Amino acid sequence: GRLQDAKVLIANAITGKGREALPSDNFNTLAQAINNIPIGIKSASGNYTVTNATLNFTDAENGSNSLNYINVDGLDFTPRYIVCTNRNSANGIVNTVIYTPYSLLTDVANINISYSVANRVESNYTSLLFSATGNAAIRSGGFTLPTRAERDKIVNWIAFE
């Protein structure tokens, strides 16, 4: 009847949003499934301790360099933006780097990842824009990105869908 038809429509809508639901579920179970549907932008954050391992990265400003890197896996989404911060122990500068897989430059070929670096010392800011190719990757479930952070330093990161 109509009640069963409604349950079929509700269960199909829940399933279409990536959650499990069956038309045979009771209304309490269907309501719980609706409440478990994620809304908004997914995000994740963490800390990465830089090792002495390096990878080759190429950027438009400096050419090819063997750099330390950040490697994160296990995300349940593909990041669109990643923000990383770390403090340089030699001069106390806080480096903030914003990465995106969508090019902000139009005059450089084969751009894979664009990133902007902002250094803060008191009230003075320096901002640079680079593009990285080679081993730089933002992929489903994670990312591998160059960092100027020193070995054994912690890079705090947050990734947004």
Q: What single-letter amino acid sits at 14? A: I
CB 121 within 8 A of CB 99: no
The structure tokens listed for 115 are 């990133």
What does the DSSP 8-state code read for residue 53? Answer: -
Per-residue tokens: 137: 């990757």
Task: Give the pLDDT of residue 157.
Answer: 94
Q: How far apart (Å, rounded) are the C-alpha atoms in residues 16 and 1? A: 23
Euclidean distance between CA atoms 80 and 100, whole angstroms: 6
Beta-ladder partners of 67:
55
Alpha-carbon distance of 122 to 119, in angstroms, equals: 10
Alpha-carbon radius of gyration of the chain: 22
- Give, as one character, the DSSP assignment of residue 149: P
For residue 134, how far is the Cα from the chain centroid?
18
Q: How far apart are CA 34 and CA 29, in angstroms?
A: 9
- Tell me the pLDDT of the chain (161 aa) as tens digits: 888 888 999 999 999 888 899 999 999 999 999 998 888 889 999 999 999 899 888 766 667 778 889 999 999 988 888 888 887 767 666 777 777 764 443 333 333 455 555 544 444 444 455 566 677 778 889 988 888 788 888 999 999 98
Between CA 23 and CA 21 the distance in angstroms is 7
